[in-house]
Structures are given as structure tokens and as C-alpha cells.
Amino acid sequence: MKILITGGAGQIGTDLLHHLHGKGAKLSVFDVAGPPEGLPPGVRWYRGSVDNPSELLDAVKDAAPEVVYHFAALLSATGEAAPHRAYAANMDGTRNALEAARLFGVRQVMFASTIAVFGPGLPDPVPDDVPLQPSTIYGVTKVAGELLGGYYKRKWGLDFRGVRFPGLINAGVPGGGTTDYALWMYVEGIRNGKYECYVGPESTCPMMYMPDALRALVELSETPVSRLKRCIYNIAAISPTAAEFAAAVKKRVRGVEITYKVDPARQAILDSWPRRLDDSCARADWGWKAAYDLDRMSDDLVPKIRKMVGVF
């Protein structure tokens, strides 16, 4: 299968690239950054910005993918620091990706949405269908992306599908999201033996280990359309407190010190998001179920981060 990933140099895109390459897909990447070291053989790399329609249209026309995974975006914390840039990348970029898919016969667009689409005052756990009143430009643009993809499905029959990701954790350097505190505990705890967390110890947010996230994307993409009752699905895995993440790190990294100094801006963003997600629709429609709990994730993650930072 021919697949193009926008934002292929980002947190999700990098891991999905290797995951799909292992499954034998013919891959292309579109990203504002150049290709990284260790790029799998045979991957075509198009360098450009998703908010530049001609650059993205040219790449999609040339790559002729059957499926586009649209991940290019500025995340929550980065977006709050540069809201106009976030709007251009996330809103204009999504419109350009959908239009390129329509014009050049792309069969399916997979969209990375987020828990940032939700606002405060929702049920616990939060189901799929609730009022969406986000507090960040990132969330605003992702709500719009969900709705615009649904419009393209109704208007032109584009097979648009997506998941609302929790905070994602992988063996890499965090990319500017509000939930990055969890991954920083592992990275800085291993690299420097200490980490000062920017949210309070009782802070709780839905999280997911990257292998589960990649599997969710591929499983949803491969599900027959006749089984799907919606375009966008909540998916859930774990919801530890920051203190529980810290305990998991301390259990596996001897002598690590984790302290807390709350950043009011990022704490406010986190507090506006759900503590848990109801993913019963995904479970019913395409059999979704997370495989990693906090302990299993930590056991798998710590050796990978040790290798990444060169501390054993």
C-alpha cells in the first residue's frame, strides 16, 4: 500500500514511519524538516510546509498515495506560544491535506485529533459525543479539523477517519505538548537523575504508550467502513497521576529525584482536559483495546530511553 505521512518527522510520524515500513508499506513523508538519520530505505521525503498549498498538492500528486496520515501540527504548549503559527499549520494545513486528497484521488485520510478538543466541566469518563469547548488554539483547530473532515466525507465521499489521542509517551524527546511532563520524568530522570515537574503531583490526564497508539491507527485504518458508525473515536489506555508516574520512574531508576514547581499556564490547560476517556464506541465498532498499563509501559520504556540518552 502507498502511504504518505504529513508531519513524518514528529513524535507520532517518526514511530509510525518505522512501524508501517516493517509492515511492507511503500512510504512517503511530507514535513517542514529534512529527513533524519536512520531513515528506512525506500522512503521518499518531500520537504515543505502544510500551510503552503502548492507544496503539499505537488507532493500528494507526485507520491499518489492510497492513504494519507495527516499528523502535521503545532501542539498545545507550542501553539499557545505562537497561536497564529498554530492556526496556519493546524487549520490551513488540514484544509490543504483534505483538498489534496480530494483532488488526487486519495482513498482515505487518517487524522490525529486529541483530548485538547474537550473543555472543562464534562462527565468522568468523557464519552465521544459532548460539547466541544476547547481552551487552547490547538484544541480549537482540532475541533475544526474533525468537522471539516466530516464535511469532506459527506460532500465528496472521502473516507475520513481519526482518533482523539491521549497524551502520548514514547522513547523520544517530547515535542511541545502539555502532557510532556510524564515523558520528561523518564528522560530527565535517566539522563540527569532529577526532574522538576511543571504540574502538581495529583494532576491526572489520559495517557497512552506509543505502541498502542500506532496499533490503534492501523487497526482503525484497516477496519471495513461498514463497521464504523462515526469518523472520530476516543481511545483510552491509562490515567495515572503525576505522582504515580514519578513512582514508576523511581522504581526503575535508582536515586532519581522528582520535584514539582507548577507552571500556572500549563496546569490550567491540563486541568481543562478530561481525567479519563470513555472509548466504548471504539471498542464496539472496531475492537479497540489498549495493551499497556503503567507498569508494562515503564518496563518497556526505560531500557529504550537509556539507550537513547546513552546512560546505562
The pLDDT of residue 216 is 98
- One fold for both 2-168+207-234 and 170-205+239-275+292-309? no
Is 195 noted as a catalytic residue in this protein? no
The pLDDT of residue 192 is 96
- Domain boundaries defined on the chain: 2-168+207-234, 170-205+239-275+292-309
Of the residues 138, 181, 186, 209, only one is catalytic, namely: 138
Q: Which residues contact 296 (CB under 8 A, 6 or more apart)?
A: none
Please identify, in words, the CATH class of the domain defined by 170-205+239-275+292-309. Answer: alpha beta
Q: Which residues contact 312 (CB under 8 A, 6 or more apart)?
A: 306
Each residue's pLDDT expressed in tens, for the chain with a length of 312 residues? 999 999 999 999 999 999 999 999 999 999 999 998 889 999 999 999 999 999 999 999 999 999 999 999 999 989 999 999 999 999 999 999 999 999 999 999 999 999 999 999 999 999 999 999 999 999 999 999 999 999 999 999 999 999 999 999 999 888 788 999 999 999 999 999 999 999 999 999 999 999 999 999 999 999 999 999 999 999 999 999 999 999 999 999 999 999 999 999 999 999 999 999 999 999 999 999 999 999 999 999 999 999 999 988
β-bridge mates for residue 208, sequence order: 168
What are the start-end ranges of the E strands in the chain? 2-6, 26-31, 44-47, 67-70, 108-114, 159-165, 167-169, 194-197, 207-209, 232-234, 257-260
CA angle 18/24/28 to nearest 5° reads 60
- Spatial distance between the Cα atoms of 79 and 287, rounded to a whole number of angstroms: 33
- Spatial distance between the Cα atoms of 65 and 60, rounded to a whole number of angstroms: 7
CB 177 within 8 A of CB 71: no
The pLDDT of residue 174 is 82
Name the architecture of domain 2-168+207-234.
3-Layer(aba) Sandwich (3.40)
Residue 220: phi, psi to the nearest 5?
A: -65, -45
The pLDDT of residue 173 is 84
